[in-house]
Amino acid sequence: MAEQRDVRASGTLCDQLQITPEELRTRLAFLSFSPEDQQNLGEIGEVICSHVDEMITEFYDHLIRFEELREILFAPDLVQRLKRTQRQYLLSLGQLADDLEYAEGRLRIGFAHERVGLKQKWYLGAYSKLFELIVQRLTARYSGDARRLSSLILTLNRILTLDEIFVVETYYQATMQRLESSLQQLSEAHHQLIEISRLDPLTQVSNRRALMESLELELRRSRRYHHPFTLLFLDVDRFKEINDRYGHAFGDKVLQRIVQIAGGQVRPPDIIGRYGGEEFAIGLVECSPEGAQRIAERIRLKIAEFSFAWEQNRASVTVSIGVAMLTPDIDRVETLIDRADQALYEAKATGRNRVELYKDVTREV
């Protein structure tokens, strides 16, 4: 029998398995425990006490006949520790089994064996071997009193059956806890994979698919509740030249830093994602065109003032930003993006390092 040890920092196994004093009395009644059994336990305990060491020796001689168990019992220190624990268990078989302390001890023994990986077939089989060893000693002492011997054997069977029931429950409980833990880990891993699949691996903001989904949801919400919503379309000026001159690794660092700068100027509800290449979209929730222009100008200015450096390279970088607001005639994200892109084109065409607001030329005409 393995050493008893706590399985959880708080709560008892009896609590976990909902074993109450009334429940324990019901179990004893189901096994037909009687006052005579209580008396018999005392005599059984005396017989065990007289032969405990020789029974343990026979028990382990039996175990090491099986290769799978020899692999578990290879360490002498472990075997000695297990023998000491089994000795305590055997000597406790003469105790009364009508309180929760007894039940808790049995449950913890079973839980410990499950945790060390002992298969249930071996643990339950061990009870059969213990029963055999104890019956042999009882038979030797009471060979002349068949009635008394029969009564003692019935009592021994009942107490060991009660202990086996506890074992089955603890193995089941441990298995269920492990399965629940595995399911929780799988669920968390699945959630993490979903989150990872929605992120741009370089900049760690939403990738294009996740960006479009978020913008679509916010567009619908803003239209439904008549809230302002403004889109910034940001593009790094002359990014190809940066890559050609300083290398793609430096270009990657530039994009990462630009995202950090832009992210520091927006609020948690706002949306930011990589649309593609060096283009980023920023959705400003409940933000007017004027407020959006101020935010865009702050982003543009902070990037222009920042000195981008990595390893031996240092460069100044600018961005152009197009701004488009949600209007009643827009019912698709693609339309809003197209307008922000047109404003971005205007910013590029008029000198770069600029912020331009989308203008509806058709209405002006």
Report domain extents, the chain: 13-192, 208-364
In this structure, the number of other CB atoms found within 10 A of the CB of residue 112 comes to 20
The CATH class that applies to domain 208-364 reads: alpha beta
Q: Report the candidate in 300, 290, 305, 285 with the shortest Cα–Cα distance to residue 355.
A: 300
What phi, psi does 108 have (nearest 5°)? -70, -35
CATH architecture of 13-192: Orthogonal Bundle (1.10)
Task: Give the Cα separation of 86 and 58 in Å (integer).
Answer: 13
Q: Kindly list the distances between the CA atom of residue 60 and the CA atoms of 1, 108, 206, 260, in Å, as whole numbers in the listed order.
A: 11, 22, 62, 66
Q: Is 297 a catalytic residue?
A: no
Q: Taking the CA of residue 328 as centre, how many other CA atoms within 13 Å lie in the half-sphere pointing to its CB?
A: 1
Task: Report the distance separating Cα 306 and Cα 317, nearest Å.
Answer: 8
* The domains spanning 13-192 and 208-364 adopt the same CATH topology: no
How many Cβ atoms sit within 10 Å of the Cβ of residue 207?
20
How far apart are the C-alpha atoms of 98 and 89, rounded to whole Å? Answer: 16
Q: 147 near 36, Cβ under 8 Å?
A: no
Taking phi over 0 as left and psi of -120 to 50 as alpha, with beta for the rest, 36 belongs to alpha
Q: Which of 22, 278, 297, 311 is catalytic?
A: 278
Residue 100 CB partners (closer than 8 Å, separation 6+): 12, 14, 19, 20, 21, 24
Say which residue the tokens 């403004």 belong to. 230
Give CA–CA dist 188/295, Å, rounded: 36
Among all chains, which residue has been given the structure tokens 């488009």? 324
CB 236 within 8 A of CB 254: yes
pTM of the complete model: 0.57
Per-residue pLDDT of the chain (365 residues; tens, 9 = 90+): 433 344 444 478 888 888 999 999 999 999 999 999 999 999 999 999 999 999 999 999 999 999 988 888 888 888 888 888 889 889 988 877 778 888 888 888 887 777 767 788 888 899 999 999 999 999 999 999 999 999 999 999 999 999 998 888 888 887 787 788 888 888 888 888 877 889 999 999 999 999 999 999 999 999 999 999 999 999 999 999 999 999 999 999 999 999 999 999 999 999 999 999 999 999 999 998 899 999 999 999 999 999 999 988 999 999 999 999 999 999 999 999 999 999 999 999 999 999 999 988 655 44
Q: Give the pair of three-digit tokens for residue 59.
A: 């028990």
- Distances in Å between the Cα of 87 and the Cα atoms of 1, 2, 56, 81, 257 are 9, 11, 7, 10, 67
Q: CB–CB of 46/93 below 8 Å?
A: no
